Amino acid sequence: MITCRLFLWFVVYTVLQSDHIIQGKRVVLMPMPTPSHTKYMTHVAQALAQQGHEVWLTMPDYLVKRSFLDTTNFTIIELTAFPNYEEILMEGLAERYFNYQTEDLLVFCRAGREFCDRILKNKHIFEQIKTLRPDFFVLDNLAFVKMLAIIPYRLGVPFAYLGSSYDVTTQRIPIVPCNIPHVMTGFNHHTTFYQRIVNFVLHLYPSLIDQCVYQDAVSRYAPEMPYLPIDILIARADIWLVETDHILDYPKPTMPNVKLIGGTATGPGKPLPPQFKDFMDEAQEGVVIVTFGSQVLNLPKSITQKILNVLTDLPFKSIFRANVSSPNSQKILTSSWIPQNDLLAHPNTRVFVSHCGKNGQYEALYHAVPVVATPLFADQFYNAERMRVRGFSETVDINTVSTDELRTTIVKWRPTRATSRPSQKPPNYSK
């Protein structure tokens, strides 16, 4: 992971330099308006600031108010009076899973188009960014917000895409579609004939119909500029930095301007807040961390009770991220927020029960913590399967798994001591 981060810094640093002269540039980063995407963008912002660049990052006010991200060394461009897109994007996804219903991914496209529409029509935001005289933009590469490339286009400024999306269509990567597992499936690289057909259709569909963008977006939001189809504008990105890598993921082809840099959100653990530190330090028998992400804090009562029954019966302590009260605060610590990376870094952490978000799985890999995967929606099934294939997780269906099966799986994955955990000393990047 340290190598991935160093590579990311080198790539962005190289793009921003010209004529071999070390000179600070003015960079604007525009992440998805959700915690996990904003988190790894802040890591990139910190890295760029440490290299002497002036950095700004757009962030909606509902994330700014939560004050959970380190925003030192760069400036926030606050997006005020925006709807809470974190809630809009996640609305109903977990609920549909717990009700055994198919998820409606078009909600992401609708919310993404609305988010872009609010930014691209907002003259105040555009003038605020224009006043900064930026030299470079770093945009989130998810399909839902790629129309934001219109802003650097209007300003005549180069831009890059950074994010978790390996999108062969927009990144112009030549592939055999049936052989590359699509991220919206739970397939691995050993596929059946039926799975290959599904992969082919899922890769082909967005190249024919892209419901996340307006094809006339340039004339709609930048009528003063020469017209370009939105897919041609997006393809003008100088570089694509994709949050994946050949260590955790399956072999994938890339183009010269597509770099795989998984693990930018990871890093050594920071000191824990007192309530977590005392609990972790005293748990010599070990701790299991249980979380379903920042968007899933209110589980169905039956699921919550199942988990609490398991945690009560385990031979070690646990931290459960949810809006519930602990039946035994000495053994089970419950909280609506946890310092996830810092808890995984603690030597007493034994197992991570996770929904398999992109940041969490890289944090678990970085800190050598085995995972019990409980995917709920979107790319989480894909993430869970590739962890299983790599040998550091086992997947359970939290809807149907029995109390005994869940307990057995957690205990089975618990090492006796965390003797192989990496050092928590900050890496020396000067070497």
422 has pLDDT over 90 = no
- β-bridge partners, 137: 28, 159
Nearest alpha carbon to residue 170 among 152, 146, 198, 136: 146
Q: Is the pLDDT of residue 424 over 70?
A: no
Q: Which residue has the tokens 């035994």?
A: 328
Pairing between strand 287-291 and 349-354?
Answer: parallel
- Proportion of the chain above pLDDT 70, given as a percent: 90
pLDDT tens per residue across span 50-75? 989 999 999 999 888 887 788 888 99
Q: What is the pLDDT of residue 430?
A: 37
Other C-beta atoms lying within 10 Å of the C-beta of residue 17: 13
Write the secondary structure of 8-44 as one string of H (helix), E (strand) and C (coil): HHHHHHHHHCECCECCCCEEEEECCCCHHHHHHHHHH
The one-letter amino acid code at 247 reads I
Of 89-93, 219-223, 413-417, which gets the smallest average pLDDT? Answer: 413-417
Same fold, 26-260 and 274-413: yes
**Angle between helical axes of 301-313 and 403-413 (0-180°, round to 10):** 50
- CATH of segment(s) 26-260: 3.40.50.2000
Q: What is the Cα–Cα distance from 410 to 398, expressed in whole angstroms?
A: 13
Parse the chain into domains and list their residue ranges.
26-260, 274-413
How would residue 416 be classed by pLDDT, with cut points 50, 70 and 90? low
Euclidean distance between the first and final Cα of the chain, in Å?
16
Q: In this structure, are residues 370 and 387 in contact, taking their beta carbons and an 8 Å threshold?
A: no
Q: In what order do the strands lie in the sheet with 54-60?
A: 75-79, 54-60, 26-30, 136-140, 159-163, 240-242, 258-260
Residue 204: its pLDDT value, please? 81
Q: Where are the alpha helices (DSSP H) in 315-368?
A: 340-345, 358-366
pLDDT tens, position by position, 218-252: 999 999 999 999 999 999 999 999 988 888 888 88
DSSP codes, 156-211: T--EEEEES---TTTTT----GGGS--TTS---SS--HHHHHHHHHHHHHHHH--T
Which one is predicted more confidently, 311 or 294?
311
Topology (CATH level 3) of domain 274-413? Rossmann fold (3.40.50)
For residues 298-306, average pLDDT: 91
pLDDT in tens, 176-232: 788 888 888 888 888 899 999 998 888 887 777 788 899 899 999 999 999 999 999
